[in-house]
Amino acid sequence: MSGNNYTITCPHCGFANNLRGRAMTIALTCQSCHIYFRVGAWDKATVEFQHVEPQEIPIGAKGRIEGVLYEVMGFVVKEEGKYHYRWREYMLFNPFQGYAFLSEYNGHWNFVWPIENSLHPRGTEFKYKDSSYRLYQKYTAQVVYARGEFFFDVVDITASTVNHEYIAPPSLVALEQSEDSVLWCEGEYLSRKEVAAIFSMPKNQLPSVSGIGYTQPFGTSFSDQALILLTAFLLLFLLLIQVVFNNTDDDKVVFQADFSKASLNNQKMLVTPSFELKDGTKSLEVNIYAPLSNDWFFGEFSLINENTETEYNFTKDIEYYSGYEDGYSWTEGSRTGDAFLSRIPSGKYHINIYPEFSGTNGSFTVTVRRGAPMYSNFFVTSIAMAIFPVFYFIRRRYREQKRWSDSDYSPYSTE
C-alpha cells in the first residue's frame, strides 16, 4: 500500500502527508510535526504528545505472521488508568486479512487480531476452543503517544473502552467494550526471537525481556499430562521388575546363631562360624533380633570373605520401649534390625561382631538370608525418578505465581 499519491494536509503545519492506508485512514500523526489529528467526517481537535517514545519496528516495515504478510501502519504507547504501567502496540495491516496488533510489554510480545465471535464468559473463567481462560486484568487506558496511521480514532476509542483480558498461556482473549461497541480479539504469545525473525531485524534491537510475560508459555516440549503418564508408566515398569526379581530369587537362610554377653569371655569381639554363599553374586540380608524390654542393643558387624579378605561393614542400633500412660499403652522402636548388602559374590564367609549391651539385655540372634528381596533399591530408584516431576511442578507453580503477581484476579492471592 506504500508508494501511492493519496495525501492529507496537516491542519497544524500544512504538511502534505502521503497515506499508506489511503481512504481507509481515519487518524494519523503528521510526518513533519507529529501532531495527531483525524480526517474527513471524524475531524476533531489535534492532539500534541508531550514526549517521543522509542519505536524499534519502523512504520512501513513488513513481516510475515502465520503465512500472512503484514505492514506496520501505526504505533501507540498506552498507559493503564489505575497502576499507570505502559505498554506499546503496533497496528498491522494486510489488504486481505484486515488489521491486527502486535503488543509488547517488558520484552514480551502478543500477536492479537479481531474475531467475529461473540463470547459469553461467566464470572472470571470460560471455555473457548477447548481451553480454559481466566480473567487476568480489567482496565481502562489512554494513549500517551502515537505515530503513523490508524483506521479508527485510536485516542478516543482507547479512552472510552473498558478492557477485559483472559489468558490460557500462550493464548489470550480480549474484550474491548464501550457504551456503543463490543470488540472481541484473540491473541497468542510471540518470543523476542520470533518477532525479530518476522521483521528480519537483529534481536538485540528489540526491548530486552524482563520477568514473566502474562501469556508466556512454560517453555517445555511436553504437556503436564504426558509427564504424569510417563512417570506413572516408569514406576509401574520398575515395580514389575521388582516383582520379577522377588519371584526368581531364592530367599533362604544360610546361617543362624544365638549369642550372649557371656559368650564374650571378657573379649570385645564375637566371631561366627563360617558359612557358604553359593549361586554367584546375589543380595544378602542380615537380621539381628534382641529380646529387649525398655532397653537397647548396639553392634558393629563385619562380613568377611575368607578367600579374598574383602570386608563389608555395617552397624545396627536397636531400641525398644513400652509403657502404659493415661489409660493407653504405647510402644516405641523395634526388637529387630535389618541390613541389606547388595552384590555379595559366592564364597566362604564369617561375621565379626563387636556388641555393646545395656545393663539388662544380654543376648541377640543373627540370621543371614541369601537372595532376599531388596526393596531399598526399588524405593531409592522410585524417589530418584520422582525428583524431576516434583521439581518441574514446584517450578511451574512458582512461575505461575509470578505470572499472576501483577493481576487483581490471581488464583493464588488467598494463599
Instruction: Indicate whether 212 belongs to any domain.
Output: no
Residue 270 lies in a domain: yes
Return the percentage of the chain with pLDDT > 70, whole number.
Answer: 93
Same domain for 256 and 245:
no
pLDDT at 172: 96
For residue 322, tell me if it sits in a domain.
Answer: yes
Based on the domain organization, do 239 and 385 belong to the same domain?
Answer: yes
Domain extent at residue 46? 7-205
Same-domain status, 169 and 307? no
Could you report the per-residue pLDDT of 166-195, keeping only the tens digit for each? Answer: 999 999 999 999 888 899 999 999 999 999
Kindly state the DSSP code that residue 197 receives in the 8-state scheme: H
Segment 39-73, tens digit of pLDDT: 877 678 889 998 888 899 999 999 999 999 999 99
Answer yes or no: do 195 and 73 share one domain. Answer: yes
CA dist 401 and 267 (Å) reads 64
- Does residue 350 contact residue 210 with C-beta atoms inside 8 Å? no
Q: Are residues 337 and 405 in the same domain?
A: no
Q: Which of 161, 179, 178, 172 is nearest to 126 (CA)?
A: 172
Q: Residues 281, 313: one domain?
A: yes
Q: Are residues 263 and 401 in the same domain?
A: no
User: Do 292 and 182 belong to one domain?
Assistant: no
Residue 216 lies in a domain: no
Same domain, 65 and 109: yes
The answer to the question of residue 215 being in a domain is no
User: Which grid coordinates are listed for 315?
Assistant: 552397624
Does 122 lie in the same domain as 41? yes
pLDDT at position 362 is 86
Does pLDDT of 219 surpass 90?
Answer: no
Are residue 234 and residue 271 in the same domain, yes or no?
A: no
Average confidence (pLDDT) over 89-112: 96
Mean pLDDT of 84-105: 96
How much is the average pLDDT of 377-394?
82
Quick one: the chain helix, strand, coil %, rounded to 5? 20, 45, 35
Our count of domains for the chain comes to 3
